[in-house]
Amino acid sequence: MNEQPRRPRHLMDPDNPIRPVNDKSLTHVKQWVASVLVVFTVAHLVVGLVIGAVAIDPVYQSSRVGLCIIAGGFGLLGLAGGFLIHRRSPFTPWLLLGLLPSAVGLWLVLR
């Protein structure tokens, strides 16, 4: 009569897992999560640099252009990091997307 109550089936018992973990699919998910975090975190940095360049007084034009160029470098590195997490070559035409916010920033700064 010292029976433990049955655990509902929708809860996992740590002593007796219902299914084994598939390491390959878990690794695949980790790669996607890491690459999305890297790319979007760096994208936020790049957009912030471009907004900063646009917000600076036009008297400091060289600083505005410099911030846009730095933003372009970070954009390239962020996308390259995303490709490297997936163990793919970063030298692809998709890498040019990293320059897009910088190009928009330069257009706004130089007009």
Q: Digits of tens for pLDDT over the chain (111 positions)? A: 567 777 666 666 677 666 666 677 778 889 999 999 999 999 999 999 999 999 999 999 999 999 999 999 999 999 999 999 999 999 999 999 999 999 999 999 998
The confidence score (pLDDT) of residue 27 equals: 85
Indicate whether 5 belongs to any domain: no
Indicate whether 27 belongs to any domain: no
Question: Domain residues for 49?
Answer: 39-110
| pTM for this model (two decimals) | 0.76
Q: What's the total number of domains in the chain?
A: 1
Indicate whether 10 belongs to any domain: no
Indicate whether 26 belongs to any domain: no
The residue written with tokens 């600083």 in the block is 63
3-state helix, strand, coil in the chain (%, to 5): 70, 0, 25
